[in-house]
Amino acid sequence: MGGMTFLIILLVIIVVIALKSIKVVRQAEVYVIERLGKFHKIADAGLTIIIPFCDHVRSVVSLKEQTMDIPPQGVITEDNVTITIDTVVFYQITDPAKAVYEIQSLKKGIEYLAITTIRDIVGKMDLDSTFSSRDAINTKLRVILDEATDKWGCKVNRVEIKDITPPADIRDAMEKQMNAERNKRALILQAEGEKQSAITIAEGRKEAAILEAEAEKEARIRRAAGEAQAIKEVAKAKAQEIDMVYESIKNANPDEKLVQLKSLEALEEVAKGEANKIFIPFEATSALSSLGAIKEVLKDDKKNN
């Protein structure tokens, strides 16, 4: 009976030792293991064996990227305006041993360092710059925190300013200013629209006037061309008529007396016109006197008959 009890006790001791010796480390975590109070090793994910009562796990360190909300901080800008800044830090442990042994509390260290850095950066900027330079502030914060936390086995990946809250009176003034700017932009856009509309209308009228002038010009050119063509046709017809008369006279072979008589008749027709004076060449007077004598002779012959 006594031997059975001893075996049971020995089995229990073996089980306890086995449980203390075997450790299972989860993915994305590491164990910082000490032996007799001194750093021994870093146990990666998976199964690891330690010596009971000599080794113990000092800390379980996560290798995942972690976030830390920095409590809202009141910061005085260069133009003496107190604003509240809310910040979040994204960091990741790269050396678990340094993160455990180089600083008492890594999170507290990052928090205090972020607060002092924010106050230093924003204290050199005016209020308007803090709102318009968020990306620049984020970049400066990340660089400074990353350099400072490197000795703690930590890498700061990003720093984001979630919110910047000015005092109530400043916020009201800024809202009024933004409303005024929006109204100003609206008026400018309206004026630009009206201006563009007027320009478009004027351009349309100009184009219409140009087209109308071009059409009138084209019409005049065509009318002039038509009139010129008509004049040419009339002149051509007159020329043909003259040619026909000339040919007829030429074919009739008239004597000199008949030609002179016809010339006298033509002068008589001209004299009936609206002209007040008619100039007759000197050379034609003899012919006219002869024609007059001939006419008198013809009259006398008629009377005698």
Per-residue pLDDT reduced to its tens digit, 221-277 = 888 888 888 888 877 877 777 677 666 666 666 556 555 566 555 555 555 555 445
Residue 298 has pLDDT above 50, yes or no: no
Query: For residues 245 and 298, which has the higher predicted lDDT (pLDDT)?
Result: 245
Q: What is the pLDDT of residue 207?
A: 87
Q: Which of residues 191 and 182 earns the better pLDDT score?
A: 191
Tokens 């071009």 label which residue? 214
CA distances from 236 to 172, 231, 239, 250, 267 (A): 94, 8, 5, 20, 26
Which pLDDT tens digit goes with each residue over 112-163? 999 999 999 998 888 888 888 888 899 999 999 999 999 999 999 999 998 8
3-class state of residue 34 by DSSP:
strand
Q: What integer pLDDT is reported at residue 204 of this predicted model?
A: 87
Give the whole-angstrom CA distance, residue 81 versus residue 58: 46
- pLDDT at position 145: 93
Percent of the chain whose pLDDT exceeds 90: 27
State the pLDDT at residue 297: 45
29-62 tens-digit pLDDT = 999 999 988 999 999 988 888 888 888 889 999 9
By CB atoms closer than 10 A (0-12, 13-18, 19+), residue 100 is buried
- Give the pLDDT confidence score for residue 150 in this predicted structure: 92
- AA letter at 302: K
| Greater pLDDT, 182 or 63 | 63
Check residue 304 and give its pLDDT.
53
Q: How far apart are CA 185 and CA 105, in angstroms?
A: 52
Sign for the CA dihedral angle at 145, 151, 157, 163 comes to negative
> For residue 196, what are the CA distances in angstroms to 3, 187, 199, 203, 210?
108, 14, 5, 10, 21
Strand order in the sheet with 29-35: 38-43, 29-35, 55-62
Residue 215 has pLDDT above 80, yes or no: yes
Mean pLDDT of 6-17: 78
3-state secondary structure at position 37: coil
User: pTM for the complete prediction?
Assistant: 0.54
Q: What is the CA radius of gyration of the chain?
A: 61
Query: Does pLDDT of 164 surpass 60?
Result: yes
Cα angle: 174, vertex 178, 181; to 5 degrees: 140
Tell me the pLDDT of the chain averaged across its residues. 80
- When pLDDT is cut at 50, 70 and 90, the band that residue 95 belongs to is very high
Half-sphere exposure of 239 (CA within 13 A, CB side): 6
CA dist., res. 86 & res. 118, Å (int):
10
Domains and CATH numbers, the chain: 2-62 (no CATH), 66-166 (3.30.479.30), 255-272+279-305 (no CATH)
Judged against a pLDDT cut of 90, whether residue 88 lies above it is answered with yes
Residue in the structure block whose two tokens are 């042994």:
101
**Rounded to whole angstroms, how far apart are CA atoms 54 and 21?**
10
Question: pLDDT value at position 17?
Answer: 77
Q: Do β-strands 82-93 and 154-165 pair in parallel, antiparallel, or remain unpaired?
A: antiparallel
